[in-house]
Amino acid sequence: MTTSVVPILRVADAEASVEWYKRLGFEQIFEHRFAEGMPAYVGIQREDAVIHLSEHTGDSPGPSLIYVWVDAIDPLAELFGATPDEMPWARDFEVTDPDRNRVRLAEARSEG
């Protein structure tokens, strides 16, 4: 049996947020609206990591914080002009999306 957890982040403009998350390597996998002109509910994915972005005011009023594990942090840190922090468990840094949701990106420390 597999368990997965999908965080839902509140966003004001799903289209703009999708573009921002593309910088982190995420791609849009779906968009849902109950009717034309209704708020968007969008799924984005990078490898096995999935995040839902919701324009619905009742969803996740935020801002929120999510922790994302990646294989290589240096290219992402360079893209955002950040310096990873050297933590005992990982090298990580934090960025803030257009809706003030915090995204902490981390690369696990290698054993040895």
DSSP 88: S
Count how many domains the chain has: 1
The model's confidence at residue 1, banded by pLDDT at 50, 70 and 90, is low
Structural contact between residues 51 and 44, judged by C-beta atoms closer than 8 angstroms: yes
With respect to residue 3, please indicate whether it lies within any of the assigned structural domains.
Answer: no
What pLDDT score was predicted for residue 28? 98
Please write the tens of the pLDDT for every residue from 64-87.
999 999 999 999 999 999 999 999
Residue 64 is part of a domain; what is its CATH number? 3.10.180.10
Question: b vs e for 54-89, b when ≥16 Cβ sit within 10 Å of the residue's Cβ?
Answer: bbeeebbebebeeebebeebeebbeeeeeebeeeee
Query: In terms of residue numbers, what domain contains 95?
Result: 8-108
Please write the tens of the pLDDT for every residue from 4-54.
889 999 999 999 999 999 999 999 999 999 999 999 999 999 999 999 999
Instruction: List helix spans (H) across the chain.
Output: 14-22, 74-80
